[in-house]
Amino acid sequence: MLGKGGHAALTLMSLLLLLWQEVVGIEVPQDPKIQQDLKQPPTIIKQSVKDYIVDPRDNTIIIECEAKGNPAPTFSWRKNGKFVNIGKDPRVTMRKRLGTLEIAFRNGGRPEDYEGEYQCFAANDLGVALSNKILFRVSKAPLWPKEELEPVTVIEGSTLVLPCNPPPGLPPPIIFWMDSNMTPIPQDRRVSMGLNGDLYFSNVLAQDGQKDYSCNARFNFTHTIQQKNPFTLKVQTMEPYNQTSYNTSDPYGGRKVAESPPTFLSPSGSESVKMVLRDEQLLLECIAAGLPTPTIKWFKRGGDLPAQKVKFENYNKTLKIVHVSEEDAGEYVCRAINHLGSVRHSIYVEVKAAPYWLDKPTNLVLAPEENGRLVCRANGNPKPDIQWLMNGEPIESAQPSVNREVLGDTILFHKVLMESSAVYQCNASNQHGYLMANAFVSVLDMPPRMLGPKNQLIKVLVNNRTFLNCPFFGSPLPVLRWFKNGQGSGLDGGQYRAYINGTLEIKRARKEDEGIYTCVANSILGKAENQVQLEVKEPTRIIEAPTNQSAVRRSKARFHCKVASDPSLSTKVTWTKDGEPLYLGGRLKKDEESLTISSVSEDDEGMYTCTVKSEIDQDSASARLTVLEDASPIPLRPDRPDPPMDLDLSDAAARSVRLTWIPGNDHRSPVTEFLVQFEEDRWEPGRWQDLSSFPGDLNSVILQLAPYVNYQFRVIAINAVGRSQPSRPSPRYKTTGSPPDAIPRDLRGWGSKKDNMEITWEPLHDLERNGPNLQYNVWWRRKDSGDDWTNVTTFQSKYIVHPTETYVPYEIKIQARNDLGSGPESNVVIGFSGEDKPKEAPTELQISKVGGTSAKIHWKPVDLSSVQGEFKEYRLYYSRESSLVPGLVVSKEKKTTGFYTTVPEPSGILKDLVPYSRYQMFMVVANNRFESPPSNNVIFTTEEDVPDAPRFFRINRRSLDTLYLQWGKPLEPNGILIGYQLIYHRVNGSRLGPQQIQTFLQNETEFTLRLPDRSARYKFNLSALTKVGAGEVYAEESPHFTNEAHIDQVDIATQGWFIGLMCAIALIILILLIVCFIKRSRGGKYPIRDKKDLPLDPVDQKDQDGSFDYQNGSSVRDRNENENSSDEDNKPLQGSQTSLDGNVKESDDSLVDYGEGGDGQFNEDGSFIGQYTVKKDKDETEGNESSEATSPVNAIYSLA
């Protein structure tokens, strides 16, 4: 536990860091004039590696050290902490104006004499910069010690280990085993080499004794191989060994060899410990003995092996993990199995870490009297120690300064002076390594300067967004303001926006924006200014563009290209064909507005582009010329293009490749676009995806690609008709891998439980992986705590931090990485751990003012720290328990409303209440997940108010002089109803007559109004009444009745005259139906007449369909007798119909059927005619009048 002093120190440190958090140093531009005059402390720009091993055969050894600064730095070296006097050693020289050491051995000397730890110092008037400590060593390839090796005797089937014990070289040698014939020893599940170089036999076979075994060590630096004396192996067998009896299925040739259960040769015992450093390679080994040869299996206690990181080598005897992270720590178990049993060995892996940067210190440029800070944060396991140096010496030994304060990993600078310039070194070290970084603090005192060209003239297009640049510099940083035409108080706002870097934005340039703009930079050291003249021009554009044309060979073609531009700008029009310049002359002629091609040939076919350029803009338009063989009057229809052909890849680069193709036939419609698609075989094999689109006049393009993808491409041509079929795929092209470029998106932290925080993010897309084994580095720390970052590396898209305190803020950031390196870090986001139920409830909930539809409430707030989460709102639950109107049933639905307030005495208005009702309510405080216990329960009643509108209002007209009005009670009376009020006016066009008022008791719901005349029309306003007053109005207007047809249908239907009219109409319809039926049954259009000897009436003419339309009253019978008296008795009647086959069909009206006294019978077509026969009286021939119908049917015919 920290004492009071520790807490005070932490509080002070946090406060100071917070005050310095927003301080940002001056960014010095890379302008040569500025850099030339800029005084700058030294900066190391090149140095040798920390562990520097050289070949002893080199004649010259170089230890690099280069630095920059102004004034130019001078260099010195220390070896093993002591100053190196270069002038005293003739073999050692330093390169001119550089700090690089050269040690020459051409004239003797041994490199071993110069081994040691070197460090370079670069100094000028403003400070001293240090290189890393460079450990210089000479590579060594020692010989094997001489030894006499006795033959190794072993019984067949037993285990054997041949030790190697290579000499300790620098760097360590690579070990391999061979026999005396320089043939590599074959290795398999039974025989293999361990990580220590020893050769292990799980069980020995008799044929193992047929060769010797020699361990070899290869030293890469010296390119030498050292060989150990060979082992001779003698294998004793229980039965005679016959080489010809060996086979792989029975390696012992039928001999009896004692089998044995598995045991471990390496490592020994049942458990061991392995330590590995973060980002290094983890190798775990288990080699087992036994007969039959055991099988090795691996698993991790408490979880699965990370399949994407783990590789198994040496016949499953070695487990390999590259780029180890903290999550790879734990217990790994290897298990050796054969049919006699199994054995296990546990390896406890500890992941440590050499220091690595969290915040590397960077150079800081300040103006006098400014504040700043240097931050040096590193992590490791164990946690590294941070040491600050100033100009190469421990900062504790430097002269104290009131302008500088060291707080752990941070140095704060307050109101710096010119003499505060220095170079600071941060050293982070633990037992596994160290990091060192230089960062200078340069105090710069420079009056304002303009960096851009003087008095620029800028021409821009009207209505375009425009930027006027005025680069400047000074220390302290000047304040820059813009003026127009030397007037005004500074341009910023409205049409203008001034940026901190000196740029002035004009959001939409207009003619009135022309003028001279002046930028003025001011600081305490002076001022500087520059001018920019702005001219606003009309755009250059093609107002009549060329159009696609088809021309017959040897005819003339003309493309129009009419241009409009600003009069003050000169323009130039050029023509190209298929992207190549067009050389005019001969058959090709150009004037101001067109291009003419005479005597067109096949070579002229292509895409012609007109381009007009001015000094500030350009415009272009294209059209295709198609050459036809003849002047066919019927042009062929355009069609989709053929697919491109012969895809070829060239100009391969790490992230791009050139794709070239031959376009197919465009089928009389120019190709406007080529779509390039790709397919890759790692993430989504077989799925084609769009990559890029290119203009139709290109056939060779550079494709921008993602790393670590095995691509193949295809191309689709597009014209006005549609898309072509895809081309054949190109050859595959595999891009090399690289560290990720993308930052995981949607990083957030939230608590799913009260004691955790889930850090989630959207994983990178497959094409953003850029390499194998994609992982995520996740950092978090409690916000404003000053704690170091905690981090973890994971394959997942979520990590749960547990345990945490309830609802505390955390800073979170993330970085993607793969086997090839790490990507950029994300910005820091703020997340929160989980929420818990609020501890306190609001108290003293009460009502202060109640109306009909609202109430004012008050309560005592809770302490926001008791919410245990994000304060969301005070949530009021309320419900309508009953209405004070007797007998009115209400819904008791519980409703909520929220109040967000943090004032000491909160209050709120509860709205949308129903008047004259009884309510109850209580309040809770809520965070995002939970609610507090409820407050006290409050019951209150709302005041009486005016009622709602009547439920319905109908107007009916039951007679010509009355209106019948009917209405329903309001759904919500909002009090005790005392009646209704009806206000109505007579409507006369657009004017209203005098107002009339009628009141009713609460139980009256209808009213009859007598009209002064039938055309009277009224406008009605009906409302219900309580003691408070009249409620919502229900407005209706009576229809304008102009005739009797508008009378209420219910009243008309009850009238006797209406019923009689309907019956008469029904009777007429029935008679007409009977007439139609009889006509259809006779088969003709004409009515049957009584027979008479009368000539054919002149108006009885044949219809178009061959039938007669008789219009007189003669009978059918008379007509038939008249026709039978002719000498064409055998001909059909003129009115008979013709059959479909063209033959004349006999008349359906037989003379016999109409004979006197003849019975009714069927005629030829089966129709019954007898029922229509009219029998004459015996005296009829004596009279001259025609016979009358004597049946009801004849009466009907007479109507027809």
Q: What whole-number distance in Å separates Cα of residue 699 and Cα of residue 1131?
A: 89
First-to-last C-alpha distance (Å) of the chain: 124
Tell me the angle at which helices 1056-1082 and 1192-1199 cross, rounded to the nearest 10 degrees: 100
| pLDDT at residue 1100, as a whole number | 41
In terms of Cα–Cα distance, which of 719, 715, 693 is closest to 704?
Answer: 693
| pLDDT at residue 1124, as a whole number | 41
* Sheet containing strand 410-413, strands side by side: 372-375, 410-413, 404-407
Q: Does 1174 have pLDDT greater than 50? A: no
Q: What whole-number distance in Å separates Cα of residue 783 and Cα of residue 18?
A: 11
The rounded percent of the chain whose pLDDT value lies above 90 is 47
- Integer-rounded Cα Rg, in Å, for the chain is 54
| pLDDT at residue 1102, as a whole number | 41
Q: Does 400 have pLDDT greater than 70? A: yes
Q: What whole-number distance in Å separates Cα of residue 707 and Cα of residue 394?
A: 45
Hey, which of 57-61, 142-146, 633-637, 821-825 has the most confident mean pLDDT? 821-825
Q: What whole-number distance in Å separates Cα of residue 20 and Cα of residue 757?
A: 29
| pLDDT at residue 634, as a whole number | 59
In terms of Cα–Cα distance, which of 569, 602, 567, 597 is closest to 582?
Answer: 597
Q: Does 668 have pLDDT greater than 60? A: yes
| pLDDT at residue 379, as a whole number | 92
| pLDDT at residue 938, as a whole number | 94
Residues 305-358 pLDDT 10s = 888 889 999 999 999 998 899 889 999 999 999 999 999 999 999 999 999 999
Residue 420 contacts residue 374 (beta carbons within 8 Å): no
Q: What whole-number distance in Å separates Cα of residue 551 and Cα of residue 606?
A: 12
Report the pLDDT averaged over residues 110-116.
Answer: 88
Using a 10 angstrom Cβ sphere, with 0-12 exposed, 13-18 middle and 19 or more buried, the burial of residue 246 is: middle
| pLDDT at residue 489, as a whole number | 65
Report the pLDDT averaged over residues 50-59.
Answer: 87
Long-range contacts of 556-559 (CB under 8 A, 24+ apart): 556/596, 556/597, 556/598, 556/599, 556/600, 557/596, 557/597, 557/600, 557/604, 557/625, 558/594, 558/595, 558/596, 558/597, 559/594, 559/595, 559/608, 559/610, 559/623, 559/625
| pLDDT at residue 635, as a whole number | 63
Residue 816 contacts residue 826 (beta carbons within 8 Å): no
Q: Which residue has the higher pLDDT, 1127 or 244?
A: 244
Q: Which residue has the higher pLDDT, 36 or 12?
A: 36
Report the pLDDT averaged over residues 1154-1165.
Answer: 41
* Confidence band for 10, pLDDT divided at 50, 70 and 90: very low
Report the pLDDT averaged over residues 757-786.
Answer: 92
Q: Does 13 have pLDDT greater than 70? A: no
- Phi, psi angles (nearest 5°) of residue 667: 55, 50
Cis peptide before 476 (omega within 30 of 0): yes
Q: Does 296 have pLDDT greater than 80? A: yes
Q: What whole-number distance in Å separates Cα of residue 339 and Cα of residue 350?
A: 33
The DSSP bridge pattern shows strands 562-564 and 606-613 to be unpaired
Q: Does 222 have pLDDT greater than 90? A: no
What's the whole-number average pLDDT of the chain? 83
| pLDDT at residue 70, as a whole number | 87
| pLDDT at residue 563, as a whole number | 92
The rounded percent of the chain whose pLDDT value lies above 70 is 84
Which two tokens mark 67? Answer: 């630095």
| pLDDT at residue 1017, as a whole number | 84
- 149 sits in which H/E element: none
Report the pLDDT averaged over residues 1114-1124.
Answer: 40
Report the pLDDT averaged over residues 977-1006.
Answer: 88
Q: Which residue has the higher pLDDT, 141 or 904?
A: 904
Residue whose pair of structure tokens reads 């009224």 in the numeric block: 1018
Residues 1038-1087 pLDDT 10s = 876 544 434 444 455 556 778 888 899 999 999 999 988 887 776 544 44
Residues 253-265 pLDDT 10s = 667 788 899 999 9
Report the pLDDT averaged over residues 731-748.
Answer: 92
Angle CA 549–552–556, to nearest 5: 70
Q: Does 1137 have pLDDT greater than 80? A: no
DSSP 286-326: -EEEEESPPEEEEEETTB---TTTEEEETTTTEEEESS--G
Which two tokens mark 576? Answer: 């190209």
Q: Which residue has the higher pLDDT, 400 or 35?
A: 400
Is the torsion defined by CA of 1054, 1056, 1057, 1058 positive or negative?
A: positive
Q: Does 1027 have pLDDT greater than 80? A: yes
* Confidence band for 112, pLDDT divided at 50, 70 and 90: confident
Residues 151-200 pLDDT 10s = 888 888 899 999 998 888 888 889 999 988 888 999 999 999 999 999 99
CB atoms inside a 10 Å sphere around CB 96? 6
What are the distances in angstroms from CA 291 to CA 241, 256, 262, 295, 334?
18, 12, 7, 11, 18
DSSP 746-794: EEEEE-SSTT-EEEEEEPPPGGG--SSS-EEEEEEEETTS-PPPEEEEE
What are the distances in angstroms from CA 1194 to CA 86, 1096, 1163?
151, 21, 20
Q: What whole-number distance in Å separates Cα of residue 98 and Cα of residue 67?
A: 7
- Rounded-to-10 torsion of CA 679, 682, 685, 687: -50
Q: Does 1185 have pLDDT greater than 80? A: no
Report the pLDDT averaged over residues 569-594.
Answer: 89
Which two tokens mark 317? Answer: 């005897």
pTM of the model as a whole: 0.49
| pLDDT at residue 629, as a whole number | 77
Residues 6+ apart with CB under 8 A from 473: 28, 29, 31, 34, 446, 448, 449, 451
Report the range of poorest mean pLDDT among 455-464, 640-649, 695-704, 1054-1063: 1054-1063
Which of 1064-1079 are b and which e, b meaning 16 or more Cβ less than 10 Å from the residue's Cβ? eeeeeeeeeeeeeebb
| pLDDT at residue 1118, as a whole number | 42
Report the pLDDT averaged over residues 524-529.
Answer: 89
Q: What is the 3-state secondary structure (H, E, C) of 934-951?
A: CCCCEEEECCCCCCCCCC
Q: Does 1183 have pLDDT greater than 50? A: no
Q: What whole-number distance in Å separates Cα of residue 1122 and Cα of residue 412?
A: 140
